[in-house]
Amino acid sequence: MKKNTTKIPLEEVQQGLYAKRKKIYPRIILGYFSRLKVLSGLILLGMYYGIPWLQWNGHQAVLFDLPARKFYIFGMTFWPQDFIYLTFLLILAAMILFFFTALAGRLWCGFACPQTIWTDAFLWMERLIEGDRPKQIKLDNEPKSFRKFRIKTTKHALWIIFALFTGYTFVGYFSPIHELTDSILNWQLSGWETFWVLFYSLATYAFAGRLREQVCTYMCPYARFQSAMFDNNTMIIAYDEKRGESRGSRKKNQDNYKDQGLGDCIDCSICVQVCPTGIDIRDGLQYQCISCSACIDACDEVMDKMAYPRGLIRYTTENKLKGKNTSILRPRLFVYAGILIALFIGTIYSISIRSLVELDVIRDRQSLYLKTDAGMIENIYSLRVMNLDNKDHAYNLTITGIEGLALVQKIDIKTKSGEISTVPLRLTVAQNKVQKRTTTIHFTLTAKDNSELTITEEARFLGPLRLR
């Protein structure tokens, strides 16, 4: 038997391994979900660009002051020791993502993801300069000319300005934005500030302006593991194949199209044209779908023109498409909701009872105790006092646990905001008052100007072993 020795051209092999990106020209569509998406984008972008300019108690409302190790968030000041709350916040965000994904698919991706929001902003600027979808395609297919160069240069210049403003705002969350603005205007920006402004600007320009859907398709891990949170009762955007097939064009007022074996889909492909990732929702659920709902608005508009019922493409579930019963409220959602509520309440409660002063009591490890010539028992300690408040404080110290326990010398405890003070002290008590080898005592620290700012820590007072 003769073997087939036909060689496949190297170009064809390379083409099979790598498909060159085809630029997507999303068609603009107006509808309920598109308006909701625009509103979401305006709110989120407004918050991002506006919050650094808000003032609260004399300083920036949200400022992560890394050199001073202070993190201001709407009147609350957090320190590096409070990073546990960041852990709670990240877990809370993850549970919110799990909950809403199990409930209604990739709502985050379609309406709140920064990649989606900034890509929409860049698309808006592109349409402003180059025109709508047909004009953009025509312009890209035109031969090189001064007009084409001028339009493209204007678009990229606008993108770069917007990206630089985005990077500048990002750094404004870490350096006071008023000082940052003055530094830029006076050409006195520091090296690190310059680096991060340019880095974040470049990332914004690259991801939202150039890569766009490739970030969602190839770089975002969420697109890969989202299916683990889906089940047959998850709300998804889906094409009703039973109603839509077979596809085919027809006249607007043609009533006998079903007799010809046609469904409601007129195969206009507008649902594909409006998709920002370039998929065909009629091919079924795909990981590239970001649930932006543009295809729903597009299809509903076509159905209205054809006088057909809306909902050929709609939010539904796999079970409902198959004619089975659908249960939106199911055990998985209750588990997610329960964990979410518990985490939220726990985080809020933990922050509300957070003390603005921390106290560590450290016994001297060099000696268990000292016995003075006067027959007194003495223990040596070091107090580490951390002031987590926004202002300096002086503190009163009281020690309880043993009758007659007293300080050998007078101490003065003052701690500046955000600093740690170490105070050595000696405690003494009559030997006959020490009834046990180890006695628990309590150190209570109270701010002189605020009696509510107090903390109590326990320690051990050691004495001689008593033989019975």
Q: Are 131 and 154 within 8 A, CB to CB?
A: no
| pLDDT number for residue 11 | 52
Long-range pairs for 82-86: beta carbons < 8 A, 24 or more residues apart? 82/354, 82/388, 85/347, 85/350, 85/351
Q: Are 40 and 111 within 8 A, CB to CB?
A: yes
Over residues 354-368, mean pLDDT: 88
Q: 89-93, 293-297, 320-324, 348-352: which has the highest mean pLDDT?
A: 293-297
Question: Considering only 112-121, 133-142, 361-370, which range has the smallest mean pLDDT?
Answer: 361-370
Higher-confidence residue of 75 and 248: namely 248
Please give the Cα distance from 363 to 98 (Å, whole number).
47
Range 198-232 burial, b when 16+ CB lie within 10 A, else e: eebbeebbebbbebbbebbbeebebbeebeebbee
Phi, psi of 59 (to 5 degrees): -140, 175
Q: Where do the CATH 2.60.40.10 domains begin and end in the chain?
A: 357-462
| Global pTM value | 0.82
Reported as type and span, the H/E element at residue 461 is: strand 450-462
Comparing CA positions, the residue from 230, 300, 222, 317 lying closest to residue 265 is 300
| pLDDT confidence bin for 2, thresholds 50/70/90 | very low
Rg (alpha carbons) of the chain, rounded to whole number? 33
Question: Considering only 16-30, 40-54, 60-74, 114-128, which range has the smallest mean pLDDT?
Answer: 16-30
Fold for 357-462, please state it.
Immunoglobulin-like (2.60.40)
pLDDT, tens only, 173-213: 999 999 999 999 999 999 999 999 999 999 999 999 999 99
